[in-house]
Amino acid sequence: MRHQRLIILVKAIGIDLAGLATNPSGFAILEERKFKTQVVHTDEQITYLCIINNPDIVAIDAPLSLPRRGSLRKADFSLIKRGLRVFPPRFGGMLLLTARGIRLAEKLRSNKIKVIEVHPRTSGLLLFKTGDRKQWLAQLRRDGFSFKGAESRHEIDAVMAAVTGLLYLKNKVEEVGAQDEGTIIIPKG
């Protein structure tokens, strides 16, 4: 009997979620080293795309929890202390985004899909030492990734969310925050 090489395909989905369904959200699927991106709007559309693609992980750029007290969670404080910019989940328009993120994560988890919270700008800064989205794509291309789409900033942020999801699956991330209040997954620096 011949030994066959096992090929393990990992599929990560990244979502740059908008606070309102009327605004564009970025959606990226990473399979092998290929990204497919698009702009999506409704929770139903996002949920459907996640379910039919059966990902190993969904990484969402939105707060997926509220602070126990005050306007910031321990995860937010941790990133701010490192000089990284995040908005408080209870701040103005962020409250709509947070509520939507929580609802979407619950819906996906009820369909047995693993969901994590990420922050693409932080991931880009840690991985590529720049906040320039075009440079993120250029470096990913140099690293052998290809793209179908990735034209809007929302799609590019979704790409970076998917990259963070892939790193999560490879145990190359740090989890900041506290389980009782929510965590943010960032690449190991």
Q: What is the pLDDT of residue 189?
A: 66
Which mean pLDDT values do the consecutive 10-residue runs of the chain (189 residues) have? Answer: 47 97 97 95 97 96 94 94 90 91 98 98 96 96 92 96 97 94 92
Please tell me the predicted confidence (pLDDT) of residue 176: 97
pLDDT at residue 90 in the model:
86
pLDDT score, position 36: 96
- What pLDDT score does 9 carry? 60
Looking at CATH, the fold of the domain delimited by 11-187 is given as Nucleotidyltransferase; domain 5 (3.30.420)
Residue boundaries of the structural domains of the chain = 11-187
Residue 156 to residue 9: CA distance in whole angstroms = 22
Confidence at residue 101, expressed as pLDDT on a 0 to 100 scale: 98
Strands 25-31 and 11-16: antiparallel
According to the model, what pLDDT value does residue 150 have?
80
